Amino acid sequence: MSRNTDPAFWTSARKHLIRYGGVFEPLIIDRAQGSFVYDADGRAILDFTSGQMSAILGHGHPEISEVVTHHVRNLDHLFSGMLSRPVVDLASELARIAPGNLERSMLLTTGGEANEAALRMAKLATGGWEVVSFAQSWHGMTAAAASATYSAGRKGYGPPAVGSFAIPVPNSYRPAFERSGEADWRAELDYAFSLVDQQSTGNLAAFLAEPILSSGGIIELPTGYLAALKSKCEERGMLLILDEAQTGIGRTGLMFACERDGVTPDILVLSKTLGAGLPLSAVLTTAEIEERCHERKFLFYTTHVSDPLPAAVGLKVLEIVQRDGLVNRAAEAGNILTGKLRDLQQRFECIGDVRGRGLLLGMEIVADRESKQPAPELGARITRRCMELGLSMNIVQLPGMGGVFRIAPPLTVSNEELELGVNILERAIAECV
């Protein structure tokens, strides 16, 4: 009998846990190491999502363990009015590696909390209160972040924040605007902002965007889009906030995804990858914006603002990523993995599209490539079979799209582990179609 079926465990889980979305895997995870998690039977499961798209150094990295152990014993948590060396050192290192003149940081815990702080700063700095984001966005579950989240969670909770607007995502696989058979994202962006202008009361504060929309189906903004978006914001006195929760700290083959476009946002938000799976986020902005907000009495006290333990972890994460060449490794491994997925695409008609950058890739499952008709049941079957065969995959299902696998193994993943993952995926698809 499998230890994963422990009746006492599942009875207690059903009785005492609040279900927060989706369905729990029928497994009890006992430990995690490197690119694998292990269930109660000791079975190894290759983790192709880096936990919650976060563990870029894999699980149980020895240097991270040492930092956590040291700081739990010596310097873990402080009153928010106190500072420690790890906090100032991490802020200094972020200023050194960040694009442009983003030289001031605030250290928090989650991406939702950091987006909340970023939006609060933007509103105070501009004097506006209207926020625009993408129609397939995910920025968090706190109030303002949830109001700027459109991929899920909008029904049943009452009205979002007043002044919340959405524009279409430039999806090159399923373009809404075309010219001569090609996606025309410039026309789409112009039209989108003409609608925003018609709805705005003249109080636009910010545009909040991911360079690659992850929960939105791994939709990558086309080259040139970010620059055009920044211009739209500048024309209206808005700030551009980039949420690099999943794209930051090397995952796309650059330290920050926005570097590809040469665009520096007014505010940059980091989370997930910054803590490599531990709760740490950061809001980065310019000295000018920070000074303006400070003069206007910016307030954002939270229990774990500027905590030394997670700051020390973030500092070690940045050290390892740079020392071990993991930014280049993400680009190299991403090219290998993309090539293998495209080979599968040639074999299986149900793989409609392969997209993304570095080790943040998407694979869209459809009924057939000609119709691009969504095939949610097939995607769900493939996901289940992958898990049965020892591969943890994540698929997002959105209206009007096929199920999209979000593939994001750790930056430390080996070529052999990439090969194993693709072989399992190939077998799962072959058995399910």
CA distance 227 to 262: 8
Tell me the CATH number at 147: 3.40.640.10
Let me know if residue 50 belongs to a domain: yes
Residue that finishes a domain, picked among 299, 323, 347: 323
Residue 173 lies in a domain: yes
Return the structure tokens found at 80.
Answer: 């928010």
pTM exceeds 0.85 for this model: yes
Q: How far apart are the first and last CA of the chain?
A: 30
Q: Are residues 135 and 183 in the same domain?
A: yes
How many structural domains does the chain have? 2
Query: Same domain, yes or no, for 81 and 163?
Result: yes
Report whether pLDDT(222) > 90.
Answer: yes
**Identity of residue 98:** A
Output the CA–CA distances (angstroms, integers) from residue 349 to 121, 339, 353, 369, 403, in the order listed.
Answer: 47, 17, 10, 6, 14
**pLDDT-based confidence at 262, cuts 50/70/90?**
very high
Same domain, 141 and 241: yes
* In-domain check, residue 6: no
CATH of residue 346's domain is 3.90.1150.10
Domain closes at, from 268, 295, 323: 323
Measured on CA atoms in the order 253, 168, 402, 19, is the torsion positive or negative?
Answer: positive
Q: Does residue 310 sit in the same domain as residue 414?
A: no
Has residue 375 been placed in a domain?
yes
Examine the domain organization and report whether 144 and 160 are in the same domain: yes
Rounded mean pLDDT of the chain? 97
Tokens for 277, please give them: 């799976």
**Mapped to the 3 state alphabet, what secondary structure does 65-112 carry?**
HHHHHHHHHHCCCCCCCCCCHHHHHHHHHHHHHCCCCCCEEEEECCHH
Using alpha carbons, select from 230, 252, 255, 228 the residue that is nearest to residue 241. 230
**215 CB neighbour count, 10 Å cutoff:** 22
Strand, helix or coil at 128?
coil
Give the pLDDT mean for 352-375. Answer: 97
Please tell me whether residues 242 and 153 are part of one structural domain: yes
75's CB contacts (< 8 A; 6+ apart) are: 84, 86, 308, 309, 312
Please check whether residue 423 lies inside any domain of the structure: yes
pLDDT at 1 over 90: no
Residue type, position 206, single letter:
A
Range of the domain at 218: 64-323
In a domain, 302, yes or no: yes
pLDDT score for 376: 93
Answer yes or no: do 239 and 318 share one domain: yes
In the predicted structure, residue 212 carries a pLDDT above the cut 90: yes
> pLDDT tens across 379-399, in order?
999 999 999 999 999 999 988
275/180 same-domain check: yes
Pairing of strands 391-392, 44-47: parallel
The domain boundary, picked from 291, 323, 355, lies at 323
Residue at 96 is within a domain: yes
Predicted confidence at residue 414, as pLDDT, reads: 98
In a domain, 1, yes or no: no
In sequence order, what E strands does 89-222 have? 104-108, 130-134, 164-167, 178-179, 182-183, 204-209, 212-213, 219-220
* 353 and 314 together in one domain: no
Taking only the tens place, the pLDDT of each residue in 69-95 is: 999 999 999 999 999 999 999 999 999
What is d(CA 315, CA 93) in angstroms, rounded to the nearest whole number? 8
β-strand pairing of 219-220 with 104-108: unpaired
Distance between CA atoms of 146 and 200, rounded to whole angstroms? 20
Length of the chain: 433
pLDDT in tens, 31-41: 999 999 999 99
Average pLDDT value for residue range 239-246: 98
DSSP state at residue 274: G
Looking at the annotation, which residues are catalytic? 138, 210, 243, 246, 272, 406
- The answer to whether residues 72 and 106 belong to one domain is yes
Whether 350 and 262 share a structural domain: no
What is the sign, positive or negative, of the torsion defined by CA atoms of 103, 56, 30, 391? positive
Spell out the residues 6+ positions from residue 51 whose beta carbon is closer than 8 angstroms to its own. 32, 59, 277
77, 125: one domain: yes
Can you give the C-alpha Rg of the chain in angstroms? 22
To which residue do tokens 């929309």 refer?
213
Q: Which helix (DSSP H) or strand (DSSP E) does residue 354 occupy?
A: strand 351-357
Which parts of 151-255 fold into alpha helices (H)?
185-199, 225-235
